[in-house]
A and B are shown apart, each in its own frame.
Chain A
């Protein structure tokens, strides 16, 4: 794991958190969407908060895809789960939602889990030629390359 890879993982965490929070802000402005006016979901994209949230989620997606190209799914997901802690903190200080002691305990557990997985190997060894710029020698990549 290089410094640049940790930066990508940080990008996944921060962009996902900020994006979700902006979306939530926008959806609260729009009010409850029921099954009778599902079209409101399509129009939601026009709300500036929702637009900004979507842009951040696009940045998140680019970082996430990059991370998945060199690390296992079971590594990337826990390693970037610190985002849920950030969401709770934003919910507490940004939206003034109440955070119970149990929830604080949850935050501590997640932080411990992130530390645990981040200290271990990021990829299942010997399965992919991850550091090779060439596609691996399997039918799908050959197909994609040609």
Chain B
């Protein structure tokens, strides 16, 4: 029973955090280089520009749900199960989603890195 709760939380984390990551990445690309913006316009201008990006709020909402799913999961499973398991699956889902929705160029180097990290994280969940 404990495991079912933990894995249900993991599934919810993967779905919501992938959605959140893609939306937030999209938003920040639209905002522009934060370091340069900070130097030229200051903190308030950066915050204002980020907060006025509509997809940012959506991404934040998805991340909020992911966060509470994590709290839920951590209360049922071990830190070293819940975090790696949800991370590995989120990682794979994100690679696919970034390619599909963000049109990122995922070359051989990134696929190898993706497989190594995802594989490593799966081994850690065993």
- Chain A residues with CB under 8 Å of chain B are 4-5, 8, 20-21, 23-24, 27-28, 30-34, 41, 44, 50, 57, 64-66, 68-70, 72-78, 81, 84, 87-88, 90-92, 95, 97, 99-100, 102-103, 105-114, 116-117, 119-120, 124-125, 127-136, 138, 140-141, 144-145
Contact = CB atoms under 8 A, between A and B. Distances in A.
Contacts of A127: 103
Nearest to A146: B52
7 contacts: A65-B50, A100-B126, A106-B123, A106-B125, A110-B120, A113-B120, A141-B30
Given A68-B24, A73-B98, A32 B75 contact: yes
B74 A27 contact: yes
Given A27-B75, A30-B75, A66-B35, A120 B110 contact: yes
Contacts, number: 213
Given A5-B35, A133-B36, A144-B30, 9 more contacts: A20-B70, A33-B71, A97-B78, A106-B125, A107-B124, A112-B116, A120-B109, A136-B32, A144-B49
Q: Which 6 A-B pairs have the closest CB atoms?
A: A109-B120, A106-B123, A113-B116, A117-B113, A110-B120, A113-B117
A68 B32 contact: no
A109 B123 contact: yes
A76 B78 CA distance: 26
Contacts of A129: 32
Interface residues of B, number: 65
B22 interface: yes
A77 to B, nearest CB: 6
Contacts of A5: 35
A78 B29 contact: no
A25 to B, nearest CB: 9
Contact of B113 (A114, A132, A135): A114
A70 B91 contact: no
A124 B104 contact: yes
Contacts of B102: 72-73
